Amino acid sequence: MSAAKKLKMSADEFLLWSLTQEDDYEFANGEIVAMSRDCKGHNVAKGLAFASLASAIRRAGLPCTPYTDGIAVKIPAGAIRRPDAAVDCGETFDPDGLELANPIILVEVVSASSEHTDTSTKLAEYFSIPSVAHYLIVMPLNRTVIRHARNADPAGPILTTLRRDDELRLDPPGLVLAVEDLFPPEMREPSPQKM
């Protein structure tokens, strides 16, 4: 299938269609969008995001569930996104469920092909979901996490912080992540070319 194909279907029909596919897809602007394959570094970084969230949930003893990539998040405007990691709290766990009803934390690990969408389009889409309190953008190559957080006043601005070390405190739901745990130790910024 091409990178994007326009079909007449709803987000719910897309979810059912995607179950019959070998590859992963998102659904945006009425188009089926193929997701690119992972390189090793991106795959490891996604795994670390999930593991960090799972560990923080266990330490905090919260009734939350961490999810890895592939789980669907429905955007109110009709898109379906598949974040690299997510956390849902308080929802009754349905092992056959296809989507998160009330995600509170969404995570995207930036790759060359996804950076623009992750830092612009998905930022707006994710905060259109009323339950989302935090959107983390993990940038493994420069070892930076951009945290966008909903203000205590829902009508207020989205607060943005950058972290390269120390901890991220995610309230709600009450999680603490060590920033360094989100980055594969073997990934570093490319060194400048010698002339």
Residues 17-37 have pLDDT tens digits of 998 998 889 999 888 998 888
Indicate the pLDDT class of residue 71, thresholds 50, 70 and 90. very high
Sign of the torsion angle spanned by Cα atoms 147, 76, 65, 155? positive
Task: Please state the rounded mean pLDDT for residues 133-161.
Answer: 92
Spans of all domains in the chain: 38-182
Question: What pTM was computed for the model?
Answer: 0.88
Provide, rounded to the nearest whole percent, the portion of the chain with pLDDT above 90. Answer: 65
| Fold held by 38-182 | tt1808, chain A (3.90.1570)
Task: Please state the rounded mean pLDDT for residues 4-12.
Answer: 73
Contact in structure between 175 and 53 (CB atoms under 8 Å): yes
Provide, rounded to the nearest whole percent, the portion of the chain with pLDDT above 70. Answer: 92
Cα 161 from chain centre: 17
